[in-house]
Amino acid sequence: MISVVTATYNCIDTVDDCLASVHAQMGVDVDHVIIDGASSDGTREMLEGHRKDFGAFVSERDGGIYDALNKGITLSGGDVVGFLHADDLFADTQVLAHVQAAFADPSVQGVYGDLCYVSKEDTSKLVRYWRAGEYTPARLSRGWMPPHPTLYVRKEWYERIGSFNTDYRIAADYDFILRLFSHPEFKAAYIPEVLVTMRVGGASNRSLRNVIRKSREDYQALRASGVGGLGTLAWKNLSKLRQFLPRRGGLPR
């Protein structure tokens, strides 16, 4: 079984699309875990109306997105855990089936794919395409990371190396990825397809102050993991530029 953790907070305009996207997944048993941060805009009430569709549902004040995701990991019932944020959608109805097929290889500990950023107002309008590519240790040391919303990991690895470090307010996902992918026993499989579409407007790029804070936290995570330093951080930021290059046609598959 695959657990999909969704953290919600005052997202009444988008969360119904997210729930429908999870519900539409075919050919796989899904344990959908919802962690709501005591929403006050009607999100909590709407979620309570769907309670029968969730493996677990909690609505209470929390310490931020990573605290919520940690709660979700703890409550998840699947042996594989991933995330779909309230603003995000699976690219199609077969995404989790492809993820499950990759995990059929017992040596595979994690699975990831590509990500599309789309317009908040029009989810058919591509803003940025993140092609992850294959992992190598050399690429990790040059700032590579998989798109976190596409990453699925065997739950035992959260127990083995720890979950998200909430001392990081913006870069706890990067810190976790560095710890995970630099572990000598971790093996990941890459699915060369778009798995998730994400509406633009994430916390890390919401303001110049957040961009600066994210860069500082990224550097701290790099130093703590021993993967790299300022050079890695520079390459990490520069490598994102190609994601904004114009593409012909609609959303890639």
The Cα–Cα gap between 81 and 96 comes to 11
For the chain, the domains span: 2-244
Q: How far is CA 121 from the centre of its chain?
A: 21
Structure confidence by residue, pLDDT tens digits, 53-104: 999 999 999 999 999 999 999 999 999 999 999 999 999 999 999 999 999 9
pTM over 0.85: yes
Q: Which helix (H) or strand (E) holds 97?
A: helix 95-102
The Cα–Cα gap between 130 and 220 comes to 24
Strand positions, DSSP E, the chain: 2-8, 30-36, 56-59, 80-83, 88-90, 110-118, 126-130, 152-154, 188-199
CA angle 34, 77, 163 (to 5 degrees): 75
CATH of domain 2-244: 3.90.550.10
Rg (CA), the chain: 17
Structure confidence by residue, pLDDT tens digits, 148-200: 999 999 999 999 999 999 999 999 999 999 999 999 999 999 999 999 999 98
Tell me the pLDDT of the chain averaged across its residues: 91
Give 64's Cβ-side CA count (13 Å radius).
12
